[in-house]
């Protein structure tokens, strides 16, 4: 089997898809437009796409499943800042003084997701530098 989509119930599919498209850098399908009941954010293969489907009710409880994102070309803190500029809200901050930890955010409809440290941060490098090169 292949996981084709991760489906997210929401009140405003296009608006929520636009947030996730901007956050991930993945495009909204050319077939979708504002007001549609289903909107697809196309992920690079083999990653499953994100499918946003309109439901009549808003979110009322904590997600049972959520995304844990690891930045590739930014630090965790830069990615958290970027997400909040795009419309996310910090929900719980689990960063610790030694640099470990993560931040739990809420997307514009209140769905939880986490941002962890990048691979470079875990290895003691500045994101975007070659292995063995530490940041200042």
Tens-digit pLDDT profile for residues 53-79? 999 998 888 888 999 999 999 999 999
Q: What ranges do the domains of the chain cover?
A: 1-56, 66-131
Confidence at residue 128, expressed as pLDDT on a 0 to 100 scale: 66
Please, which residues bridge with residue 32 across strands? none
User: Per-residue confidence at 130, pLDDT binned at 50, 70, 90?
Assistant: low
Q: Which position has the token pair 């003084």?
A: 97
Out of 3.30.200.20, 3.10.180.10, 3.30.70.270, 3.40.50.300, which CATH number does the structure's domain 1-56 have? Answer: 3.10.180.10
Does 133 have pLDDT greater than 50? no
What Å distances lie between residue 17 and 51, 76, 95, 113, 133, CA to CA? 8, 22, 28, 15, 37
Handedness of CA 20, 21, 25, 27 (dihedral sign): positive
Q: What is the CATH number of domain 66-131?
A: 3.10.180.10
Q: Which pLDDT value is given to residue 125?
A: 76
Are 1-56 and 66-131 in the same CATH fold? Answer: yes
Per-residue pLDDT tens digits for 6-57: 999 999 999 999 999 999 999 999 999 999 999 999 999 999 999 999 999 9
Q: Say what the pTM is.
A: 0.87
The pair of three-digit structure tokens given for residue 60, joined into one six-digit string: 């009322």
Encode pLDDT of 97-120 as tens digits.
988 999 999 999 999 999 999 999
């Amino acid at each position: 089997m292949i996981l084709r989509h991760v489906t997210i119930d929401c009140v405003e599919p296009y608006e929520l898809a636009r947030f996730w498209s901007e956050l991930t850098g993945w495009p909204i399908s050319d077939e979708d437009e504002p007001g549609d009941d289903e909107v697809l954010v196309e992920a690079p293969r083999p990653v499953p796409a994100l499918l946003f489907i309109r439901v009549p009710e808003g979110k009322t409880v904590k997600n049972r499943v959520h995304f844990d994102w690891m930045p590739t070309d930014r630090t965790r803190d830069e990615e958290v800042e970027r997400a909040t500029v795009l419309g996310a809200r910090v929900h719980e901050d689990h960063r610790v003084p030694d640099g470990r930890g993560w931040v739990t955010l809420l997307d514009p409809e209140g769905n939880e997701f986490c941002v962890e440290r990048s691979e470079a941060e875990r290895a003691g490098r500045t994101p975007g530098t070659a292995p063995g090169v530490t940041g200042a």
